[in-house]
């Protein structure tokens, strides 16, 4: 197969048949078959001459497009049954490494050190398994700053949450945690009809670019991330009530709101990332 493999609907269907492969729902397996979408993802990732990490190569339809552009690619696949198929498909590519491991269990900085030479920008490109989208992103963002950009397909609802701005319906703790570290933008909307099997929801591709010079900085990061979780713990409650309930000093929170011209009944979704950084500093330096 090797370099003749293109990832089209026909080649994916042929692969499924010839390998007796059964699609596993438990691993979030929905394979993309549309060539324009695959090229669109790789174009959005802008990976010319980059070292790339892919999560979940599946049957290799995105992998083949990444390999054509990247300097090198390391793909992490949890499903043992896919390993012989992928190994055979990409045996002619000497810039490809396949790792049969759960991405959530790897030490990402160790992996980066062992696979890449440190001379190329490191990017992540993936059609993520939807059942663990958020844990994957939060793990990687909190454990390494070596991956400078992330281009990822996910359920559209999650993409909207990640990219949302304050006072918009989707804005929540995930938006704040991720935008603290990276600039987030939605780059493509993808119909559910281009997957085998067809999922119940539409998808979107987002891009995260780590800040070179972060506009947000606090030395109390652990406290900041806990504060975000607590501030958004009950959506219908005010910021003050959420924080009071989770053990913060109500009078100090009110003092911060007054000093920064917020109403006592302000909701967490009305505060920007910068406001949460300021609140962190205010409460920690009381
Ligand atoms: N990249 C392929 C595509 O676009 O057609 C497949 C994408 S499919 C949505 C998700 C892939 O992630 C599957 O191949 C699945 O087996 C793999 N996967 C699921 N959980 C994983 C994990 N924890 N670590 C690594 N790979 C995982």
For 174-198, write each residue's pLDDT tens digit: 999 999 999 999 999 999 999 999 9
* Cα–ligand 1 centroid distance for 129 (angstroms): 5
* Cα–ligand 1 centroid distance for 14 (angstroms): 19
The confidence score (pLDDT) of residue 6 equals: 67
The confidence score (pLDDT) of residue 4 equals: 63
Residues with a CB atom less than 6 Å from ligand 1? 27-32, 55-58, 61-62, 76-79, 102-104, 127, 129, 132
* Cα–ligand 1 centroid distance for 120 (angstroms): 25
pTM of structure: 0.94
CATH topology of domain 2-210: Rossmann fold (3.40.50)
The ranges assigned to domains in the chain are 2-210, 221-284
For 211-254, write each residue's pLDDT tens digit: 998 899 999 999 999 999 999 999 889 999 999 999 999 999 99
* pLDDT above 60: residue 35: yes
Determine which residue's CA is closest to atom 12 belonging to ligand 1: 56
Tell me which CATH code domain 221-284 carries.
Answer: 1.10.8.100
Whether 2-210 shares its CATH topology with 221-284 is answered: no
* pLDDT above 90: residue 117: yes
Mean pLDDT of 142-148: 97
The confidence score (pLDDT) of residue 235 equals: 87
DSSP the chain: -GGG----HHHHHHHHHHTTPPP-GGGT--EE--HHHHHHHHHHHT-TT-EEEEE--TTSTTHHHHHHH-SEEEEE---GGGHHHHHHHTTT-TTEEEE-S-GGGS-HHHHHHHH--SSS-EEEEEE--GGGHHHHHHHHHHH-S-EEEEEEEEEHHHHHHHH--TTSTT--HHHHHHHHHEEEEEEEEE-GGGEESPPSS-EEEEEEEE-SS-S---S-HHHHHHHHHHHTSSTTS-HHHHHHHTT--HHHHHHHHHHTT--TT--GGGS-HHHHHHHHHHHHT-
């Amino acid at each position: 197969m090797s370099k003749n493999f293109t990832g089209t609907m026909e080649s994916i269907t042929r692969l499924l048949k010839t390998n007796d492969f059964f699609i596993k729902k438990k691993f979030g397996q929905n394979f993309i078959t549309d060539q324009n979408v695959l090229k669109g993802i790789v174009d959005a990732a802008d990976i010319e001459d980059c070292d790339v990490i892919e999560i979940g190569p599946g049957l290799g339809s995105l992998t083949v497009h990444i390999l054509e552009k990247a300097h090198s690619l390391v793909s992490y696949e949890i499903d043992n049954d896919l390993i012989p198929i992928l190994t055979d498909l990409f045996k002619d590519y000497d810039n490809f490494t396949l790792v049969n491991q759960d991405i959530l269990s790897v030490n990402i900085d160790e992996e980066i050190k062992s696979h890449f030479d440190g001379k190329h920008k490191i990017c992540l490109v993936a059609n993520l398994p939807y059942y663990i989208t958020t844990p994957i992103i939060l793990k990687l963002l909190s454990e390494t700053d070596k991956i400078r950009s992330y281009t990822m397909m996910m359920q559209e609802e999650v993409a909207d949450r990640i990219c949302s701005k304050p006072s918009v319906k989707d804005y929540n703790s995930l938006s704040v945690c991720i935008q603290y570290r990276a600039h987030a933008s939605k780059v493509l909307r993808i119909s559910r009809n281009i997957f085998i099997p067809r999922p119940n929801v539409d998808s979107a591709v987002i891009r995260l670019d780590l800040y070179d010079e972060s506009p947000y900085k606090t030395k109390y990061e652990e406290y900041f991330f806990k504060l975000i979780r607590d501030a958004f713990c009950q959506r219908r409650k005010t910021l003050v009530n959420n924080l009071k309930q989770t053990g913060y000093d109500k009078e100090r929170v009110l003092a911060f709101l007054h000093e920064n011209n917020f109403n006592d009944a302000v909701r967490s979704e009305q505060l920007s990332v910068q406001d949460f950084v300021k609140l962190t500093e205010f409460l920690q330096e009381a």
